[in-house]
Amino acid sequence: MRHKLPLFVALLTLSACARNADLQVGQAVDGRLESSDAVSSEGPYQDRLTFDATANQRLRIEMTSDSVDALMRLLGPDGAVITANDDALGRNAAITFKAPAAGRYTVVATSYGTSPATGPYHVTLAEVPGQFADPGASAAIAVGESEDGVLEVGDSSIEGGAYFDRFDFRPTAAGNVVIDLTSTQFDPYLVVRDSAGVDVASDDDSGEGTNAQLTLTAEAGKLYRLVVTSFGSAAKSGVYRLAVATAPATR
């Protein structure tokens, strides 16, 4: 989903035993998985953190730990599982979602695998500001423009489960263009397809750090589909920026 506003959230940290703890938007909780915790049907110890959300509110939850392979499940007000995440941030977990209804939501903080694991963890809950299109909607981008967006629960997904957004790019002049896809919240992966859906080019880490960058020799008037997604099969989410610029002249 696209937006034009930067993501800015100030997080306040609360020291608490997170078992059955309340979590507030803009705050964080430190907790610990331990042998006295509840055990899920899959086996590992788990804590539950609840928070209130309004309808259509966009939120990002992160669970980080140096001790356990973090895994989160997000439950709706009715107790049904909305989504789960394991390795969005290395061995850490992150979920970006739009609340389908007002009510109390639950984060199940646990660990990956069937063997119980113990250790401290940190959970943050932040609001994602801005106005967004409905999941699956495409937008247009032109040379010299940049678009901010967010991959989130409810987006379309490619084979393997990764979320994606799509931008239509139709250059008015032929020539080389540089396309950059950057994010600090997931490992960006960029795919360029023609109007028939055939892959023309793709890139993972050619930009700075894990960001994606590629140079496309574009034909005037031809429609290209720029697919913004994340590397790997996991459904990773978070904000990103997509930019298209004229390639520097070569000597």
Q: pLDDT digit string (tens) for 231-244? A: 987 789 999 999 99
**68 and 161: one domain?**
no
Tokens representing 220?
């005037």
Close Cβ partners of 3 (under 8 Å, ≥ 6 residues apart): 129, 130, 131, 132, 148, 149, 150
Q: Is the Cβ–Cβ distance between 233 and 162 less than 8 Å?
A: yes
Q: Which domain holds residue 48?
A: 2-127
Strands (E), 5-115: 12-15, 21-22, 27-33, 38-39, 45-53, 58-64, 70-75, 81-85, 93-98, 103-111
Boundary-marking domain end, from 95, 127, 159: 127
**100 and 164: one domain?**
no
Which is more confidently placed, 234 or 126? 126
**28 and 116: one domain?**
yes
Boundary-marking domain end, from 102, 127, 152: 127
Asked if residue 134 is part of any domain, the answer here is no
Reduced to 3 DSSP states, what percent helix, strand and coil does the chain have, rounded to the nearest 5?
A: 0, 50, 50
Percent of the chain with pLDDT over 90: 70
pLDDT at 130: 74
pLDDT at 251: 60
**19 and 95: one domain?**
yes
**159 and 113: one domain?**
no
pLDDT at 136 over 80: no
pLDDT at 11: 39
Q: Please, which pLDDT band fits residue 42 given cuts at 50, 70 and 90?
A: low
Which is more confidently placed, 137 or 113? 113
Asked if residue 149 is part of any domain, the answer here is yes
Which is more confidently placed, 251 or 16? 251
**42 and 121: one domain?**
yes
Which is more confidently placed, 249 or 191? 191
pLDDT at 2: 45
**56 and 79: one domain?**
yes
| Distance in angstroms (rounded) separating the CA atoms of residues 7 and 237 | 14
**Cβ burial 36-63 (10 Å sphere, 16+ → b, else e):** ebeebeeebbbbbbebebeeeebbbbbb
Which is more confidently placed, 250 or 9? 250
Residue 20 class from Cβ within 10 Å (0-12 exposed, 13-18 middle, 19+ buried)?
exposed
Asked if residue 204 is part of any domain, the answer here is yes
**123 and 149: one domain?**
no
User: Quick one: average pLDDT of 118-136?
Assistant: 86
| pTM summary value | 0.82
CATH assignment at residue 237: 2.60.120.380
**110 and 160: one domain?**
no
Query: Into how many domains does the chain fold?
Result: 2
In sequence order, what DSSP letters do the residues of 31-46 get, joined into one string? EEE-TTSEE-TTSSEE
Q: pLDDT digit string (tens) for 190-230? A: 999 999 999 999 999 999 999 999 999 999 999 999 999 99
Boundary-marking domain end, from 127, 159, 187: 127
pLDDT at 78: 96
Asked if residue 251 is part of any domain, the answer here is no
**123 and 10: one domain?**
yes
The DSSP output letter for 178 is: E
pLDDT at 160: 75
Counted residue by residue, the chain has a size of: 251
